[in-house]
Amino acid sequence: MSLLLSNATIGQLELKNRVVMSPMCMYEVKNEDGILTPFHFAHYGMRAISQVGLIITESTAVEPDGRITKNDLGLWNDDQKNEFKKLVDSIHYLGSKIGIQLNHAGRKAENAVNPVAPSAISFNDEFRTPAELTINQINEIINNFGKAAKRAENAGADMVEIHGAHGYLLHQFLSAVANHRTD
Ligand SMILES: Cc1cc2nc3c(=O)[nH]c(=O)nc-3n(C[C@H](O)[C@H](O)[C@H](O)COP(=O)(O)O)c2cc1C
């Protein structure tokens, strides 16, 4: 058997093969409530039927203003968690493992009511200037990542992935261009 199709473990997570679906935003939450739709059940279910060992969901926001767009998934409330549980159960039924990618888009949150970032610097001319986060707000976002991770666990997800790239909030903190803080 090829290495690609052989068993693998990541920590305690056991995978039937090494084929992993990377997270890909689908912008399919048409009613803007962050809740999975029939599209997502078909989209991820198809990959499980195709024998992907580990499916990682698209960027899933830890709070409403953390969405990249208003059509993204969220995991900031229990209605969202309850639908995730159904998705996780169906993916497990089909024999694959599933993780949830947690994200906050920071200054790249296109539809945020109040976009926030480490510093009040816009991504480019097409984005609004974000408000500089206070320490209390930073702690609140950290807590929201924790609460979303707990909901993922309660939904039965096999793992979470924290999005630290692509210019979103965590990446903004790591960037000397986006982060001019001195505290
Ligand atoms: C339509 C689309 C949506 C994507 N959305 C996400 C995302 O939500 N989160 C993420 O970390 N990467 C996202 N990516 C990046 C992919 O996960 C992946 O890293 C990238 O396509 C490179 O994969 P490759 O090296 O296998 O070509 C997206 C890519 C595409 C094409």
How buried is residue 3: exposed, middle or buried, by Cβ count under 10 Å (0-12/13-18/19+)? exposed
Q: Is the CB of 80 under 6 A from ligand 1?
A: no
Q: Where are the domains of the chain?
A: 8-174
Q: Which amino acid residue places its CA nearest to atom 22 of ligand 1?
A: 22
Q: 141 CA to middle of ligand 1, Å?
A: 24
Query: Does 8-174 carry CATH code 3.20.20.70?
Result: yes
pTM for the model stands at 0.97
* pLDDT tens per residue across all 183 residues of the chain: 899 999 999 999 999 999 999 999 999 999 999 999 999 999 999 999 999 999 999 999 999 999 999 999 999 999 999 999 999 999 999 999 999 999 999 999 999 999 999 999 999 999 999 999 999 999 999 999 999 999 999 999 999 999 999 999 999 999 999 999 999
Q: Is the CB of 24 under 6 A from ligand 1?
A: yes
Q: Is the CB of 142 under 6 A from ligand 1?
A: no
Q: Which amino acid residue places its CA nearest to atom 30 of ligand 1?
A: 24
